[in-house]
């Protein structure tokens, strides 16, 4: 009898592994390998200090991704609110005793890694909203009273993230949260009203912004006004993008990065480094891979038979895509610099692990797409 039980368990795990969604895993690994190559180049053809650590973190995160994907979606459903509460507590800890770097207090020093709770909070917010809207009816989605708790899920953590200060992550949480409310079926007039109120409140928001944040907006509007000062980053980024041409200068041959003209080449501006060395074709290839990941995520959401899985996978893949769009638009000078990394490519421990946790949850929705979840918030 013991052998029979073990056989049934093994068969169950084997079936889960078959349904994991290995196409998405392959695409994630391919994009991560591009990141390793870019970080190797950023260090002047050396695996230290960035590429080696990034590879180690990715391998650990990849194992975690598979484990998360194999865990029953019902367990993640039950843990959603506790995960949100833990994330919120970590944000409070950051405010009380967080590690300060680059003028901001955003990290908790764990010794082996600088944990940035706001990265995981982006996932926790999406999970909480997916759970809350899981059993919502059309009548409830038209009720302001019903929608108010969802705004609390969004703006409570945003308030703490703004205190760090981290405007970029705050905006990402808000955009992902608004996208979740839209995907859940909230009426269009609500978003139009919100857009108008946001536009009207911009002068007030400008008053409360930090000086460096105001300077970023001014630099976005007129980068040429101070090319050696505030406009230096975006000016050098545009030069690197343009000098790459169609086919690029070749691997390890990017002059802007090798001569250290390109700032933060291992983090926020890593796409610029890649495009200078591999040109327009290399940049489009990377964007194509990102696009395929997005399409794969949408397909998983489409095939999921329960609302929690549909909303969770859709919300997480939209969150991933927003980061890709914002980072690339930022380095091209289309939007102000907000400090958003390029997922799976930019150097960073917490951001890498958070992205892989998100993909693990998406694949869990795929593995358990036929599960039956309780009809309750």
Instruction: Give percent above pLDDT 90 in the chain.
Output: 48
pLDDT-derived band at 2, boundaries 50, 70, 90: very low
pLDDT at 45: 86
pLDDT-derived band at 29, boundaries 50, 70, 90: very high
Burial of 232 (0-12, 13-18, 19+ CB in 10 A): middle
The span from the CA of 123 to the CA of 323, in Å, is: 13
pLDDT at 38: 94
Q: Which two tokens stand for residue 111?
A: 């010794």
Sequence-distant contacts of 320-325: CB under 8 A, at least 24 apart: 320/293, 320/294, 320/355, 320/358, 320/359, 321/290, 321/294, 322/172, 322/175, 322/176, 322/179, 323/172, 324/287, 324/290
The span from the CA of 187 to the CA of 160, in Å, is: 29
CA 62 vs. chain centroid, Å, equals 16
193 or 222: whose pLDDT is higher? 193
202 or 48: whose pLDDT is higher? 48
Through-space distance between the first and last CA atoms of the chain, rounded to whole angstroms: 39
The span from the CA of 76 to the CA of 62, in Å, is: 18
pTM: 0.88
pLDDT at 9: 37
SS3 69: helix
pLDDT at 197: 80
The span from the CA of 186 to the CA of 286, in Å, is: 34
Strand partners, 105: 100
Strand partners, 276: none
**263 Cβ neighbours under 8 A, 6+ residues apart:** 232, 233, 236, 269
The span from the CA of 209 to the CA of 367, in Å, is: 44
Whether 70 has a pLDDT exceeding 50, the answer reads yes
The span from the CA of 55 to the CA of 290, in Å, is: 19
Residue owning tokens 């680059």 = 102
Phi and psi, residue 177, nearest 5°: -65, -45
Q: Which two tokens stand for residue 32?
A: 């991560």
pLDDT at 7: 34
Q: Which region among 93-97, 184-188, 205-209, 223-227 has the lowest average model confidence (pLDDT)?
A: 223-227
The span from the CA of 313 to the CA of 304, in Å, is: 9
Pairing status of strand 114-115 against strand 99-101 = unpaired
Whether 3 has a pLDDT exceeding 80, the answer reads no
Average pLDDT value for the chain: 84
79 or 210: whose pLDDT is higher? 79
CA 203 vs. chain centroid, Å, equals 28
Q: Which region among 79-88, 129-138, 207-216, 270-279 has the lowest average model confidence (pLDDT)?
A: 207-216
2 or 221: whose pLDDT is higher? 221
In the Cβ-directed half-sphere of 89, how many Cα atoms lie within 13 Å? 6
Strand partners, 209: none
Domain boundaries of the chain, sorted by first residue: 23-367
Average pLDDT over residues 177-196: 89
Q: Which two tokens stand for residue 1?
A: 């009898």
pLDDT at 212: 64
Query: Tens digit of pLDDT for each residue in 203-262?
Result: 777 666 667 666 666 665 665 555 555 567 777 888 888 888 888 888 888 877 776 777
134 or 111: whose pLDDT is higher? 134
Residue owning tokens 């969604």 = 21
Whether 10 has a pLDDT exceeding 60, the answer reads no
Q: Which of 373, 375, 376 minimizes the C-alpha distance to 72?
A: 373
The span from the CA of 340 to the CA of 319, in Å, is: 12
Whether 119 has a pLDDT exceeding 50, the answer reads yes
Query: Tens digit of pLDDT for each residue in 332-353?
Result: 888 877 778 899 999 987 889 9
Query: Tens digit of pLDDT for each residue in 34-45?
Result: 999 999 998 888
- For the chain, the residue count is 377
* DSSP assignment letter at 98: P
Helix/strand/coil percentages in the chain, nearest 5: 70, 5, 25
Query: Tens digit of pLDDT for each residue in 261-300?
Result: 777 788 888 999 999 999 999 999 999 999 999 999 999 9
pLDDT-derived band at 104, boundaries 50, 70, 90: low
């Amino acid at each position: 009898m013991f052998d029979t039980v073990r056989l049934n368990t093994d068969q169950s795990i084997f079936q889960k592994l078959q349904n994991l969604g290995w196409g998405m895993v392959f695409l994630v690994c391919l994009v991560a390998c591009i990141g390793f190559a870019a970080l190797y180049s950023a260090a002047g053809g050396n695996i230290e200090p960035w590429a080696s650590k990034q590879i180690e973190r990715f391998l650990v995160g990849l194992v975690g991704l598979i484990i998360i994907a194999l865990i029953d979606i019902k367990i993640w459903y039950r843990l959603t609110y506790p995960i949100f509460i833990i994330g919120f507590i970590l944000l409070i800890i950051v405010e009380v005793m967080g590690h300060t770097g680059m003028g901001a207090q955003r990290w908790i020093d764990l010794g082996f890694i600088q944990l940035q709770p706001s990265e995981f909070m982006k996932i926790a917010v999406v999970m909480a909203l997916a759970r809350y809207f899981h059993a919502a009816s059309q009548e409830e989605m038209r009720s302001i009273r019903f929608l108010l708790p969802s705004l609390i899920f969004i703006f409570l953590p945003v308030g703490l993230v703004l205190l760090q200060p981290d405007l970029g992550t705050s905006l990402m949480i808000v955009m992902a949260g608004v996208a979740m409310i839209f995907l859940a079926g909230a009426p269009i007039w609500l978003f139009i009203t919100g857009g108008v109120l946001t536009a009207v409140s911009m002068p007030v928001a400008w008053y409360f912004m930090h000086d460096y944040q105001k300077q970023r907006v001014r630099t976005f509007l007129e980068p040429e006004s101070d090319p050696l000062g505030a406009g230096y980053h975006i000016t050098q980024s545009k030069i690197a993008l343009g000098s790459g041409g169609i086919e690029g200068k070749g691997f390890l041959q990017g002059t802007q990065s090798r001569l250290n003209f390109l700032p933060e080449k291992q983090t926020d501006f890593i796409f610029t480094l890649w495009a200078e060395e591999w040109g327009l074709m290399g940049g489009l290839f990377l964007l194509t891979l990102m696009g395929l990941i997005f399409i794969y995520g949408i397909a998983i959401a489409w095939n999921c038979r329960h609302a929690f899985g549909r909303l969770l996978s859709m919300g997480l893949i939209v969150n991933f895509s927003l980061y890709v769009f914002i980072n690339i638009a930022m380095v091209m000078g289309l939007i102000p610099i907000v400090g958003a990394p390029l997922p799976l490519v930019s150097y960073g421990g917490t951001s890498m692990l958070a992205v892989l946790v998100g993909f693990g949850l998406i694949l869990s929705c795929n593995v358990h797409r036929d599960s039956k979840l309780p009809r309750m918030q």
